[in-house]
Structure 1
Amino acid sequence: MAETPACPEPDDEDVLDDDERQKLRAFPNLVDDCSDDDDDGKFRHCIEARDDILGEHAELALRAAIYERVMLSRCSRYKTIKEAVTTSAATVTEDSRDEQWELLPG
């Protein structure tokens, strides 16, 4: 069986702030600190990390929805483009950030 690459990869850290970078660097050690036969402990750390990340995603989705509501109510150009993109009438977006924004619930 091939060995799993060490985490984190250097490129992974480029997008993280200092706090997240520190958490990511500490995570493999946290899992490894469990004994080899304590898979339940390793699993618990993995689930806790996953749940923390999903919680942050939920907060981001909520923040995006709140901003979206303000944008739609205050900027007619944004609303027009958003409606065109939503109804698939537009073939060109303002830029790739529009597509990224669409990936978030809102």
Structure 2
Amino acid sequence: MKFKSFYMGSAIHVQYQTEDEFKEILRRICRKQSVQYDSEVTEYLLNNYYRKQNRPLVGSHPRDLMEHIIDHAKFLKRTPEFIPKTVDSAAANYFIEL
């Protein structure tokens, strides 16, 4: 099933992002947070957590995932890195099955 948008209640219409829009949001967030953006890691994220799962591209996900990456790095007293290992950690905590 391919999602394009959804309604929250009866008043708010939320549109999903295209892949290009999602990538641009992520790139801008990385730049704003001084985290090195990597297009290959973005493809890793899209392949493993969106395309394979048939998950819609929600515009807030890049920010939320990057916040997890940054917070986890701060906890470990490390520099935040946008790499597959940190993407996996962020996704494991963000995309939970209920």
State the TM-score, normalizing by the size of structure 2: 0.30
Structure number with the bigger relative contact order (C-alpha 8 A, sep ≥ 6) is 2
Higher radius of gyration, 1 or 2: 1
Structure number having the greater strand percentage: 2
Structure number having the greater helix percentage: 1
